[in-house]
Structures are given as structure tokens and as C-alpha cells.
Amino acid sequence: MTSGALVLAGGGVAGIAWEIGVLAGIRDVEPAVFDRIMDPATTFVGTSAGSTVASQLASGVDLDQLYATQLAEESAELGAEADLAEFSAMMAAAAEGATSPEEVRRRIGRIALDAKTASAADRRAVIAARLPVDAWSDRRLLITAVDTGTGELRVFDRDSGVDLIDAIGASCAVPSIWPTVEIQGRQYMDGGMRSAANADLAAGCDPVLIVVPSPENSPYGPPIPKAELDALAPARIHTIFADDAAVAAFGPNPLDPAVRPASARAGRALGRAIAREIAAFWA
């Protein structure tokens, strides 16, 4: 086994704020444990919202600054309407009659390519504004996206020859809501179309801490498939799910920038509550 991994799942701008809050809460109570989790040897795996947080953390910018940004009224984020039930129905329709997960994702990819969204330039400016440092760090940072044409997972890292802003933009390109991102002649969409967390990319790491901005028992199915967790064996795994306070803070639209402060505060409260549990796990 190598060193540990921090896996950060998708969840919109609410998820970004909440994940930062959770980590800030852990640091409030167990600063030494937070420092060990942030060790340069720890692998970061980021999907969609998680790709933003993973990149922000990898940049070395102080967590207090990242948290304060989530509380600020001013934001470069673009608002978007996101109906989770409607989005889930779209996913279910794409899966009907499909013979493989890749086929499902290809169908979703066509929806993503045909959708009327904000311009690619405007969306890229939003992603750039999230990053204190817009260059890959030396740490092992894995950012996920899905090829709209093949339905296959693409994992970007510092050796991919891909701009960090483009990698994050691709990972956050929610189909039918945000524009796809062209990278090396291919069009990419949200890495969450393959999995909310893509936790199996942390295989070989131990321990593995997974942070998921959705409830453990979701009406849309388990946030992380059992097979994905099984792929991490024999590593020790701990998953942090959103509690009731977080779900209330997210509201019906996790892409609404107005939910950021409440989501960050809910995350920090949960992080403080579970900090000693995380300390025992990571130790």
C-alpha cells in the first residue's frame, strides 16, 4: 500500500462550499490530523465539484481563505437552474435499453453537446476565478471527466499535457447545464456521469477518506456503488456523507451560488462533530 487518498465527490457549488467547510471543521478540532491528510504524499481524487476543491487544496492556499471565499456575498459563479428529479429522469431515460454504461454515457454526451448553455468562454472564466493558482501542483492530483463521444472515463493529471482550468472545466461540465469542454480534439463532460466520486481511482492507497456532498441514503440510489468501494480493498475506507443540516442548506438547487454560505457553515459544523472520528480513522 502507498500513502492515503482524499476523494472529493461532485455536488455543484453547494458541494464545493460544503467540502471546504467539512475540512475546515476537521482542522478546527484536529489540526494535526488535517495536516497529515494534506501531506504531499496523499493522493487527491476530484470529480466535478470535488475537482475544484482538490485543486484548490493542492495549490497550497490556506484553508481559511478558501472558506472565507464561500462566505463572501460577491462571487464569480454563474447561477443555473438544476432540478435533481428532472436530471435523474434524464439519466434514467438515457439508460433505458442501453447495453453498457458507456452507451448510456454516449447518449448523455449527445444531450450535452446539443444543449443550449452559457458560452464556453464565460464558463471557463468562472472556473479560472475559483483557482488561487492555475497550475498543476507536484502532488498526485487526479481529475475525472467523461468523453462525450465514447462514454469513457478520462483521468487528467499533471502529466496529461492539459491545462488545469480545462481539466476542471471538463470535470464540472454538467450535461444540459454547462458547455462541454474541448481538450485535445475531444469533447468532455462531467466526470460524475461515470460516478459521483470515482473512488476506485484511489486503489492502492490506504487509508482512503471519501467526502460526498449527498446523503448516504439518497432517493436516486447509493452515491457510491459497492463495486467501487470493493475495488479499494484491502484499504481502510471512511466516507463522510451530507447530514440533514447540509441537505437543508443545499436546498433544491445545488447550483445556486446563494447556497454557498449556508452549505459551508453546515459542512464546518459536521467537520467539527466528526473530527475525532476522522482522527481515529486516519491514524
Query: Is 20 in contact with 270 (CB distance < 8 Å)?
Result: no
Q: Please tell me whether the peptide bond between 219 and the residue prior to it is cis, using omega within 30 degrees of 0.
A: no
Write down the pLDDT at residue 80: 87
Q: Give the pLDDT confidence of 170-201 residue by residue, as tens digits.
A: 999 999 999 999 999 999 999 999 999 999 99
SS3 of residue 212 by DSSP = strand
What does the alpha-carbon distance between residue 163 and residue 165 come to, in Å, rounded to a whole number? 6
Can you give the three-state secondary structure of 143-174, one letter per residue? Answer: EEEEECCCCCEEEECCCCCCCHHHHHHHHCCC
Cell numbers of 171, please?
470535470
Which amino acid, residue 189? M
Write down the pLDDT at residue 1: 47
- Rg of the chain in Å (alpha carbons): 17
Q: Give the pLDDT confidence of 13-48 residue by residue, as tens digits.
A: 999 999 999 999 999 999 999 999 999 999 999 999
Cell numbers of 276, please?
475525532
pTM score, whole prediction: 0.96
Write down the pLDDT at residue 120: 96
Question: Left, alpha or beta for 159 (phi > 0: left; psi -120 to 50: alpha)?
Answer: alpha
Question: Looking only at Cα atoms, what is the longest distance across the chain?
Answer: 51
Residue 32 Cα distances to 68, 240, 267, 273, angstroms:
21, 19, 19, 16
**CB-based burial label for 206 (10 Å; 0-12, 13-18, 19+):** middle
Cell numbers of 190, please?
462531467
The distance from CA 1 to its chain's CA centroid, rounded to whole angstroms, is 24
Residue whose C-alpha is closest to residue 199's, from 144, 147, 248:
144
Question: What average pLDDT does the chain have?
Answer: 95
**Cβ neighbours of residue 139 under 8 Å, at least 6 residues apart?**
40, 42, 43, 44, 58
Any idea what the Cα angle at residue 196 is, between residues 261 and 78, rounded to 5°?
Answer: 40
Residue 56 Cα distances to 59, 94, 182, 194, 260, angstroms:
5, 33, 22, 23, 16
Write down the pLDDT at residue 261: 98
Q: Give the pLDDT confidence of 88-114 residue by residue, as tens digits.
A: 888 889 999 999 999 999 999 999 999
SS3 of residue 125 by DSSP = helix
Q: Give the pLDDT confidence of 58-86 residue by residue, as tens digits.
A: 999 999 999 999 999 889 999 888 777 88
Q: Give the pLDDT confidence of 146-159 residue by residue, as tens digits.
A: 999 999 999 999 99
The residue among 258 and 220 whose pLDDT is bigger is 258
- Band (pLDDT 50/70/90 cuts) for residue 56 is very high
Does residue 2 carry a pLDDT above 60? yes
Contacts 24+ apart (CB under 8 A), 223-226: 223/9, 223/196, 223/197, 224/9, 224/195, 224/196, 224/197, 224/199, 225/195
Within the chain, strands assigned E span: 5-8, 43-47, 141-147, 153-156, 181-183, 186-190, 208-212, 237-241
Residue whose C-alpha is closest to residue 17's, from 55, 54, 53:
53
